[in-house]
Amino acid sequence: MSFDAAAYEAFYRRSIDDPHTFWAEQAQRIEWHQPFKQTLDYSKPPFTKWFVGGETNLCHNAVDRHLATRAGQPALIAISTETDTETVYTFAQLHAEVNRCAAMMQALGVKQGDRVLIYMPMIAEATFAMLACARIGAVHSVVFGGFAANSLATRIDDAAPVLIISADAGSRAGRVMPYKVLLDEAIELAQHKPSRVLLVDRGLAPMSKVAGRDIDYATLRQTCLDAVVPVVWLESNAPSYILYTSGTTGKPKGVLRDVGGYAVALATSMDLIFCGKAGETFFCTSDIGWVVGHSYIVYGPLLAGMATVMYEGLPIRPDAAIWWQIVEKYKVTRMSSAPTAIRVLKKQPLELLKKHDLSSLKALYLAGEPLDQTTSDWISGELGVPVIDNYWQTETGWPIMSIAKGVGDKPTRPGSPGMPIYGYKVKIIDETTGEECGANEKGVVVIEGPLPPGCLQTLHGDDARFVGTYWRNFKRELYSTFDWGIRDADGYYFILGRTDDVINVAGHRLGTREIEESISSHCNVSEVAVVGVEDPLKGQAAVAFVILKNAAPAATPAGAQALEAEIMKVVDHYLGPVGRPSRVHFVASLPKTRSGKLVRRAIQSICEGRDPGDLAVIEDPAALQQIRAALAVLPVS
């Protein structure tokens, strides 16, 4: 496709200047049981309602509507290199499994509007469960399987599910990761007690059941083999799911998404951004516990009539050719991953990539963290396909910035995720004055309301926090992404890092406050500061600086190492390995303002070897020397 700059700009401008007409046209990409009466209701900003009065269903659009034309085509390709299993479900078979799962939920008392928490590994039953919730109008809340009991408990209390669906265990790098033990502990810790727990037994770990509460998935499934469960038609703005994202207060935020707007946004993005076509295969290497997995493992590809690959395993096991083997075998046309994974593969023997026929692959999309030019150039050159960056958030559900190749083949620019996608009125705002920045001036990346379809409606059970967190940082109706950015003279954007205390580790968004709170629970910790530090592999790594109540145990290198290991175990217990800092350093003081606020930016600057800037705000500048001294101590070999 040749690039017509004027046509590209006109398409974008139309989505901004006439969103009613633009999105009414895009809404024809899905099927509506009842047509909508109003495309957009923004009468109570910042709350947005799309396709008001229309009735539709995500499961119907992802599965049922394809049965007439592609029932026998692959829909879900479930692969686990951890258990050496591989199963392909056609659209007809997926439809049958989703009906069975929906009937199982109904048998356990789940009704429209009820919450169902899904705490599962990357197995087909997790997809069945998500689609079954969508089918009957239940609201699913998927919790990443790497989270420990305490983190799971906070989400159980917030979502208050009537049913939890889980498994005996997951597996990573051949190491079994028990889920049921963590789930039992989480339910014990939680104030809310679900009435039923549905369990998939993979035979990976012993699993005791609580009488009257725990139900075996396979046994209940046998009673629902011939189930036919009609879809529940939902008003467009009914909730589809809750997905928790890290907050700066330590309390996760439950992003609440709608049904109709999300379906339209994803269907449009699959065509105009990812250029996916019905009958092709999409391979997203993320996890269903993150928003990328929701949008581009489960819903997006299926809405487009594509087969989607669901992969449990590492990119280097059994060897670093496994992803390329999948691309070749299933003729993957579009692939989505994270820069960290590509940096890992770059360290592997090149012949592992070269031995597979990758001619089906048309593009690689990378997101979740900043993409460096070296990584982009390497993988693009070796695959011989375009590498397309894209930038978005849990809150938006689909890309804010990228290059919409389905609109026009606009060139990419190294280090930039591209330009604002249709529907997003993006600006760079000076955080002090609130005025829009000029070219190459650093500011906060914001989106002018109303947000386009598919973005969060609010935070579950907390409209005030939704408004206060995202919309009250400036005088106008501007949604803050909490990312620093600049825009060059040609309109390309560059993301420079977070303005708040959320860090991005290998595409996983973590709140430093959550990590700090877990470390603070150690009996010998008096105070702690956690910062995100640039890491060549993961993008960022969490680093902790701890003031001890009793410094004696860390007085020797061996003692400090032992105490660091203890603290790491505490974080594992509260958050899981995903929250574990790369290092824990022990200091006598931390840099603070006169009012007692930690100056994390100064700590981060020193860790990254940068000038910490104006130190006048720090009450005791000598505290920075403590940071430097701690970093100078080499770890014990």
User: Is 544 in the same domain as 401?
Assistant: no
Query: Domain span at residue 265?
Result: 5-313+395-448
| pLDDT (0 to 100) of residue 594 | 53
Quote the radius of gyration of the chain (alpha carbons, Å).
Answer: 24
| pLDDT (0 to 100) of residue 2 | 58
Exposed/middle/buried for 17, CB within 10 Å: 0-12, 13-18, 19+? exposed
Specify the number of domains making up the chain: 2
Query: Could you give the CA distance from residue 561 to residue 565 in angstroms, rounded to a whole number?
Result: 6
Between CA 228 and CA 237, with CA 243 as vertex, the angle to 5 degrees is 65
Query: pLDDT, tens digit, for every residue of 479-524?
Result: 999 888 899 999 999 987 777 667 777 767 677 777 887 898 899 9
The pair of structure tokens assigned to 66 is 């394809």
Residues near 227 by Cβ (< 8 Å), separated by ≥ 6?
A: 99, 100, 102, 103
CA 30 to chain centre: 24
User: What is the sign, positive or negative, of the torsion defined by CA atoms of 396, 398, 402, 407?
Assistant: negative
User: Is 428 in the same domain as 573?
Assistant: no
Does residue 67 form part of some domain?
yes
Does residue 347 form part of some domain?
no
pLDDT band of 126, cuts 50, 70, 90: very high
The pair of structure tokens assigned to 331 is 């003729």
Does residue 108 form part of some domain?
yes
CA 537 to chain centre: 19
User: Is 558 in the same domain as 435?
Assistant: no
Among all chains, which residue has been given the structure tokens 């691309």?
327
Query: Could you give the CA distance from residue 454 to residue 421 in angstroms, rounded to a whole number?
Result: 13
Does residue 497 form part of some domain?
no
Query: pLDDT, tens digit, for every residue of 1-28?
Result: 556 788 889 999 999 999 999 999 999 9
| pLDDT (0 to 100) of residue 249 | 55
- DSSP SS3 for 474: coil
User: Is 153 in the same domain as 231?
Assistant: yes
User: Is 196 in the same domain as 84?
Assistant: yes
Does residue 340 form part of some domain?
no
> Given 448, 468, 488, which residue is the final one in a domain?
448
Query: Could you give the CA distance from residue 3 to residue 6 in angstroms, rounded to a whole number?
Result: 9
| pLDDT (0 to 100) of residue 636 | 38
Query: Could you give the CA distance from residue 280 to residue 308 in angstroms, rounded to a whole number?
Result: 9
User: Is 426 in the same domain as 553?
Assistant: no
Does residue 498 form part of some domain?
no
pLDDT > 60? residue 634: no
| pLDDT (0 to 100) of residue 615 | 56
CA 273 to chain centre: 18
| Domain CATH for 142 | 3.40.50.12780
Does residue 52 form part of some domain?
yes
User: Is 555 in the same domain as 421?
Assistant: no
Query: Could you give the CA distance from residue 269 to residue 276 in angstroms, rounded to a whole number?
Result: 9
Average pLDDT, the chain: 91
**What are the angstrom distances between the C-alpha of 219 and each of 178, 205, 214, 223, 229?**
21, 18, 12, 7, 19
| Domain CATH for 525 | 3.30.300.30
User: What DSSP element (H or E) covers 75?
Assistant: strand 74-80
Instruction: For residue 169, list its beta bridge partners.
Output: 178
User: What DSSP element (H or E) covers 533?
Assistant: strand 525-535
Query: pLDDT, tens digit, for every residue of 86-115?
Result: 999 999 999 999 999 999 999 999 999 999
| pLDDT (0 to 100) of residue 637 | 31
User: What is the sign, positive or negative, of the torsion defined by CA atoms of 531, 369, 304, 238?
Assistant: positive
Does residue 260 form part of some domain?
yes
| pLDDT (0 to 100) of residue 618 | 66
User: Is 515 in the same domain as 616?
Assistant: yes
Among all chains, which residue has been given the structure tokens 């800092």?
581
What does the buried/exposed string (b/e) look like for 475-490 if buried means 16 or more CB atoms within 10 Å of the residue's CB? eeebbbbbbbbbbeee
User: Is 518 in the same domain as 443?
Assistant: no
Query: Could you give the CA distance from residue 270 to residue 304 in angstroms, rounded to a whole number?
Result: 7
pLDDT band of 635, cuts 50, 70, 90: very low
Q: Are 307 and 330 in contact (CB under 8 A)?
A: yes
User: Is 439 in the same domain as 585?
Assistant: no
> Given 430, 448, 466, which residue is the final one in a domain?
448
User: Is 214 in the same domain as 77?
Assistant: yes
| pLDDT (0 to 100) of residue 593 | 60
User: Is 422 in the same domain as 518?
Assistant: no
Put residue 109 in one of left, alpha, beta given phi > 0 → left and psi -120 to 50 → alpha.
left
- pLDDT over 90 for what percent of the chain? 71
Exposed/middle/buried for 183, CB within 10 Å: 0-12, 13-18, 19+? buried
Query: pLDDT, tens digit, for every residue of 244-269?
Result: 987 655 678 999 999 999 999 999 99
Query: pLDDT, tens digit, for every residue of 371-412?
Result: 878 889 999 999 999 999 999 999 999 999 999 999 998 899
